[in-house]
């Protein structure tokens, strides 16, 4: 495996867990929220500001100056766009450094030569999974949260890539984790990738 | 494996070959064009008529009597819809009989409890594959044919199911055969299914 693997995922489908396990199996680095700190360092603004904009788009009033970073004062580039550019630069730098697993943040579209996975599962399976991870949560509230995070991810992906989130042909392998669990998906991915090294 | 496996596929991606190999590996029957003959027998019309309507929709002028089968004269059900219903009945009957692999014909949406695969690959990979299977063919003409068949399959799927062809979440596993070939996809599917029998 000499390629970067990107993982796009529906919220609650276990995409992050799959990414972590895949990176372990392949003995390569895993990047998720770490990308935020690295990108924050890059353009020298508070990590907290990054967290607010991570994986969702914010359309500001162009006259409202406080949302624009001083650096781009002339061009009035919104903070969310600057953060996307900074994260993209970090993603390209990591990819140039060697194989790794990157979860989310449109890495599949930012990189030219990555292997792209998409993980999803039915709403009932995702609620079940999240209620195990966060016992005591309210089921209805969890469903609302899942829909909200997915909506933001979808908008973010479509805004920055112009592509349809979840269209199979955008990815090399798309897996429903509801049927076989994250471990079933992991085996399928390894079997699929196995061919590459033969 | 006690389930029916359905294979949806982009033309030229090797979906049929994957279906055949999968059925062999799992030692279960494979159905593709055989469905046509069975459905033709069912409603007692010529197989040739079925071939014309297989996996594409035809919208006729409702006043043009020759396109309507005598059986449905009162309700004026177009031939293409009658054929879809006949094929659906055959698909349900086969599924009730035991596990098998069914390629195309919206079987994924007709059955409630099947495992659904979608196979695709980039246009350049599909042209390359088809030119190996049909040596001497013109490349541009092959691309035109691939786009034409895909367009018909997509329309057929969307007309009869109301769903988006190629939307990852409609399937359990979606595989790009361009990266690892049909054999790489086969191993991935077997690894994915393997979990089910554990």
Minimal CA separation from B92 to chain A, in Å? 22
Report how far residue A194's alpha carbon sits from residue A66's, in angstroms, rounded to the nearest whole number: 50
Report how far residue A14's alpha carbon sits from residue A177's, in angstroms, rounded to the nearest whole number: 7
Beta bridge partners of B78: B68
Q: What percent of chain A has pLDDT over 70?
A: 76
Give me the pLDDT at residue A84, please. 83
A171: nearest CA in chain B? Answer: B176
| Predicted confidence band of residue B191 (pLDDT cuts 50, 70, 90) | very high
The count of residues in chain B is 198
Contact residues, chain B, for A189 at CB < 8 Å: 188
Contact list, B10 vs chain A (CB under 8 Å): 169
Helix (H) or strand (E) holding B8: strand B5-9
Extents of the domains making up chain B: 2-52+75-191
Model pLDDT for residues A19-68, shown as the tens digit of each residue: 999 999 999 999 987 776 676 666 666 666 666 666 666 655 555 555 54
Query: Residue B22 in contact with residue B156, Cβ under 8 Å?
Result: no
Burial B18-56 (b: 16+ CB within 10 A, else e): bbbbbbeebebebbbeebbebbbeebebeeebbeebbbb
Complex confidence, ipTM: 0.84
Beta bridge partners of B115: B5
* Tens-digit pLDDT profile for residues A152-184: 989 888 888 888 889 999 999 999 999 999 999
Number of DSSP helices (H) and strands (E) in chain A, helices first: 8, 5
Could you tell me whether strands A101-103 and A173-176 are parallel, antiparallel, or unpaired per DSSP bridges?
unpaired
**pLDDT of B123:** 96
Return the ∠ at Cα A85 (arms to A23 and A153), rounded to 5°: 60
Minimal CA separation from A190 to chain B, in Å: 8
**Cβ–Cβ contact B173 with A under 8 A:** yes
Q: What's the predicted TM-score (pTM) here? A: 0.85
Neighbours of B72 (CB within 10 A): 15
Q: Does the beta-carbon distance from A176 to B169 stay under 8 Å?
A: yes
Asked if A171 has any chain B CB less than 8 Å from its own CB, the reply is yes
> Given 3.40.50.300, 2.30.110.10, 3.30.160.60, 3.40.50.1240, which CATH number is that of B2-52+75-191?
3.40.50.300
pLDDT tens digits for B108-162?
888 989 999 999 999 999 999 999 999 988 999 999 999 999 999 898 888 888 8
* Tokens read off for B197: 């029998």
Test B120 with A189 for CB contact under 8 angstroms. Answer: no
Tens digit of pLDDT for each residue in A95-109? Answer: 888 999 999 888 888
Enumerate residues 28 to 67 of chain B having a beta carbon within 8 A of any beta carbon in chain A: none
């Amino acid at each position: 495996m000499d390629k970067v693997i990107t993982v796009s995922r529906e919220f609650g489908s276990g995409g992050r867990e799959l990414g972590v396990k895949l990176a372990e199996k392949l003995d390569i680095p895993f990047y998720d929220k770490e990308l935020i700190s690295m990108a924050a360092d890059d353009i020298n603004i508070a990590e907290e500001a990054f967290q607010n904009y991570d994986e969702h788009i914010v359309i500001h009033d162009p006259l409202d100056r406080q949302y624009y970073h001083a650096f781009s004062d002339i061009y009035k580039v919104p903070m969310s766009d600057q953060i996307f550019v900074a994260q993209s630069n970090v993603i390209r730098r990591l990819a140039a450094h060697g194989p790794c697993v990157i979860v989310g943040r449109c890495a599949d579209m930012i990189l030219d030569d990555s292997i792209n996975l998409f993980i999803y599962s039915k709403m009932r399976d995702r609620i079940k999974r999240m209620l195990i991870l966060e016992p005591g949560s309210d089921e209805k509230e969890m469903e609302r949260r899942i829909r909200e995070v997915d909506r933001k991810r979808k908008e973010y992906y479509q805004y920055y890539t112009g592509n349809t989130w979840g269209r199979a042909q955008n990815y090399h392998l798309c897996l429903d984790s509801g049927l076989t669990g994250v471990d079933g998906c992991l085996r399928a991915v390894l079997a699929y990738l196995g061919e590459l090294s033969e």
